[in-house]
């Protein structure tokens, strides 16, 4: 069996959700319950697994507890991108030609120096915002 055969076998055993579900990181979706989540997952046979990806799961504080509450033995796979490519991608997704009308474009260098957001509505910036050490009290 070649490496290609092994890869093809693995790929055929995995079904991916069509869109980013954002179940565990968005309170409105999480509040809809597990049945809503399952409805957004692909149908699978007994020998297949289903997966989904929502990049903000990695930076949303509530996500680990919510995932563990659903399935304490779940296996997670974290795929990271080269950081420079990632920040350029984030910038173009937020401020590109297809951005939301309420988002005012800013210069890329200003984007790089934005303070670390803490509110959920700013979650899309957390992965690229610089992390600053907490100030020391005298």
Q: pLDDT tens, 94-106?
A: 777 665 666 677 7
What percentage of residues in the chain have a pLDDT greater than 70?
71
47-56, 59-68, 103-112: the lowest-pLDDT one: 103-112
**Which is nearest to 95 in space by CA: 109, 81, 83, 108?**
108
Domain boundaries, the chain: 3-70, 83-126
In 3-state terms, what secondary structure has residue 51? strand
Name the CA dihedral angle for 52, 58, 60, 65, rounded to a multiple of 10 degrees.
70
pLDDT at 118 over 50: no
Give pTM, 2 decimals: 0.62
Tell me which DSSP letter residue 74 carries. Answer: -
Lookup: tokens for 128: 């690229």
Residue partners of 49: CB distance under 8 A and separation at least 6: 13, 14, 15
Write down the pLDDT at residue 78.
Answer: 79
């Amino acid at each position: 069996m070649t490496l290609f055969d092994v890869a093809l076998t693995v790929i055929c055993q995995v079904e991916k959700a069509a869109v980013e579900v954002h179940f565990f990181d968005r309170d409105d979706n999480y509040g809809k319950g597990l049945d809503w989540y399952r409805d957004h997952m692909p149908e699978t046979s007994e020998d297949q697994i289903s997966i989904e990806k929502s990049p903000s799961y990695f930076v949303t504080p509530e996500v680990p507890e919510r995932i563990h509450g659903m399935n304490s033995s779940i296996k997670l796979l974290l795929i990271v991108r080269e950081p420079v490519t990632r920040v350029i991608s984030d910038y173009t997704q937020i401020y590109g030609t297809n951005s939301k009308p309420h988002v005012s474009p800013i210069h890329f260098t200003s984007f790089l120096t934005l303070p670390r957001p803490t509110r959920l509505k700013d979650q899309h910036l957390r992965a690229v915002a610089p992390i600053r050490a907490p100030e020391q009290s005298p």
